[in-house]
């Protein structure tokens, strides 16, 4: 048996093995329920970097379990909460992505942990939640089922210490605003920033940013079309004096997205640009840069965006019976580089979905291909798997 045949056989066998048993949604009472989604695949990966070997193996695809509830607390007012944990289904550990543990305004375990109040005024939520900018600008093209979904964006996926407000819909328009508060602590003679990482490590030496993140988005929906604009300002406690040659670590990001639901055909396009960042001074600089403009090894979630860096994504999905076919092409400077992503989902039942996907990127600041091994030169991956959701 050739190596290629062996890999195909391995993938087919594992795809059958990872299917979860049937389960039912758990409704504790009228106001409280438990939900979850077991998501796993087996992949064969070919990183471009000579330092990272090709491999085949299991990969979790963002398994999660959560508890959510809501209740009327007064006439016209509803209180709600959601607590959601990420789980690595290949090991059984409570886990989430590395950058969601120690960076990008995340914490160690919970994917979502928020409380809210809604009424005629709109809604307000506090805690850790999906980013306001991500929801409006990046989500419309984040439609894939595997581990390789959603990497081509500069947005913060989930932000902790966040207060967010959504207006009620008015003539098709809705506006969202959020602030994620910086929070650090002192421990002896060592200062720990927002992300629990010792000052002095990672990008920019002891210049780690750590300011608040302010976000504003507006969305219009009418007929089959939805369009959004977004702005995100990432402030920094380490801002210098640009007039005297000191770097200004503050960063700003603007974005736009448009999508169309045309029955069996879904189309979407998205664009992001860093409008205030640090100009790269070295040839290998890109998106993640330190205060000197050199390549940064660590992203702190606030500063170190490269000036004028851009992202674009073009997505199309077509539904035929129980199958959904997907294609996406784009570029994220300094992150994935140019990429394309092909996939097909088969909805076997309301709860069970199978998927097969092929992903390829040229790398940049980092690449999800061989991400755990620090590969930043891109590569390709073929993965098949299943979701079981309740």
pLDDT digits (tens, 9 = 90+) for 138-188: 999 999 999 999 989 988 888 888 999 999 999 999 999 999 887 544 333
- Whether the per-residue pLDDT at 23 is higher than 90: the answer is no
Tell me the range of 107-121, 243-257, 258-272 where mean pLDDT is highest: 258-272
Question: Cα separation of 154 and 137, whole Å?
Answer: 10
Angle (nearest 5°) at CA 313 between 311 and 319? 165
Indicate whether 107 pLDDT > 60: no
- Predicted pLDDT of residue 363: 83
Sequence-distant (≥ 6) Cβ neighbours of residue 234 within 8 angstroms: 209, 211, 213, 250, 251, 252, 253, 301, 302, 303, 305
The reported pLDDT for the residue numbered 101 is 45
Cα separation values, 388 from 17, 37, 81, Å:
13, 6, 23
Q: Which helix (H) or strand (E) holds 8?
A: helix 3-17
Predicted confidence band of residue 18 (pLDDT cuts 50, 70, 90): very low
Q: Which residue has the higher pLDDT, 279 or 341?
A: 341
- Percent of the chain past pLDDT 90, that is, above it, reads 52
CB of 178 within 8 A of CB of 124? no
Count other C-beta atoms under 10 Å from residue 188's C-beta. 5
Residue 114 has what DSSP assignment? E
Phi and psi at residue 11, to the nearest 5°: -65, -45
**What is the model's pLDDT at position 95?**
73
Residue 241 confidence (pLDDT): 58
Nearest to 252 by CA among 212, 281, 296, 286: 212
DSSP type of residue 366: -
Residue pair 380/46 in contact (Cβ under 8 Å)? The answer is: yes
Distance separating alpha carbons of residues 383 and 46, to the nearest angstrom: 12
What tens digit of pLDDT does each residue of 243-252 get?
A: 555 555 677 8
Gap between the Cα atoms of 294 and 338, Å rounded: 21
**Mean pLDDT on 42-49:** 93
Average pLDDT of the chain to the nearest whole number: 80
Q: How far is CA 87 from CA 37, 110, 194, 222, in A?
A: 10, 10, 23, 37
For range 363-389, the mean pLDDT: 85
Using pLDDT thresholds of 50, 70 and 90, give the confidence band for residue 7: very low
> Span 259-266, mean pLDDT?
98
| Best CA proximity match to 151, nearest among 129, 134, 136 | 134
Lowest mean pLDDT: which of 20-29, 72-81, 355-364? 20-29
Q: Residue 373 has what pLDDT?
A: 67
Q: What is the pLDDT of residues 86-96, one digit of tens each?
A: 998 998 888 76
Q: In this predicted structure, what is the pLDDT of residue 148?
A: 95
**pLDDT mean over 65-82:** 95
Which residue from 191, 183, 240 is spatially nearest to 213, judged by alpha carbons?
Answer: 183
Nearest Cα neighbor of 370 from 4, 126, 55 is 55
pLDDT at 367: 84
Cα 146 to Cα 62: distance, rounded to the nearest angstrom: 8
Give tens-digit pLDDT for 314-325: 999 999 999 999
Most confident residue range from 232-236, 241-245, 258-262: 258-262
Residue 52 or residue 371, greater confidence: 52
């Amino acid at each position: 048996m050739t190596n290629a045949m062996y890999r195909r056989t391995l993938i087919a066998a594992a795809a059958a093995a990872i299917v979860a048993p049937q389960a039912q949604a758990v409704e504790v009472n009228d106001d409280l329920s438990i939900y979850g989604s077991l998501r796993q695949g087996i992949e064969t990966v070919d990183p471009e970097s000579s330092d990272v070997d090709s491999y085949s193996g299991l990969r979790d695809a963002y398994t999660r379990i959560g508890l959510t509830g809501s209740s009327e607390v007064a006439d016209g007012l509803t209180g709600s909460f959601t607590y959601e944990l990420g789980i690595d289904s290949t090991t059984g550990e409570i886990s989430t992505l590395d950058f969601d543990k120690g960076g990008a305004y995340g914490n160690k375990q919970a994917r979502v942990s928020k409380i809210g109040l809604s009424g005629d005024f709109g809604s307000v939520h506090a805690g850790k939640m999906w980013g306001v900018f991500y929801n409006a600008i990046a989500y419309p093209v984040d439609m894939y089922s595997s581990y390789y979904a959603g990497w081509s964006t500069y947005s913060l996926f989930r932000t902790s210490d966040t207060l967010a407000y959504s207006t009620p819909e008015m003539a098709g328009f809705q506006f969202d605003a959020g602030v994620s508060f910086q929070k650090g602590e002192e421990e002896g003679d060592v200062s720990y920033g927002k992300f629990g990482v010792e000052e002095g490590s990672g990008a920019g030496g002891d210049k780690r940013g750590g300011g608040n993140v302010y976000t504003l988005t507006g969305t219009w929906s009418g007929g089959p079309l939805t369009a959004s604009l977004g702005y995100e300002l990432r402030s920094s406690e380490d801002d210098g004096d640009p007039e005297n040659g000191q770097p200004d670590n503050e960063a700003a990001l603007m974005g736009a997205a448009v999508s169309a639901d045309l029955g069996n055909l879904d189309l979407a396009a998205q664009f992001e640009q860093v409008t205030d960042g640090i100009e790269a001074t070295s040839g290998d600089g890109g998106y993640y840069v330190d205060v000197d403009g050199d390549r940064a090894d660590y992203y702190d979630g606030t500063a170190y965006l490269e000036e004028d860096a851009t992202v674009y994504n073009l997505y199309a999905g077509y539904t035929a019976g129980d199958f959904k076919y997907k294609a996406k092409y784009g570029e994220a400077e300094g992150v994935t580089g140019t990429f394309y992503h092909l996939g097909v989902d088969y909805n076997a039942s309301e709860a069970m979905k199978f998927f097969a996907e092929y992903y390829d990127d040229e790398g940049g600041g980092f690449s999800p291909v061989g991400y755990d091994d620090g590969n930043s030169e891109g590569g390709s991956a073929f993965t098949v798997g299943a979701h079981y959701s309740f």
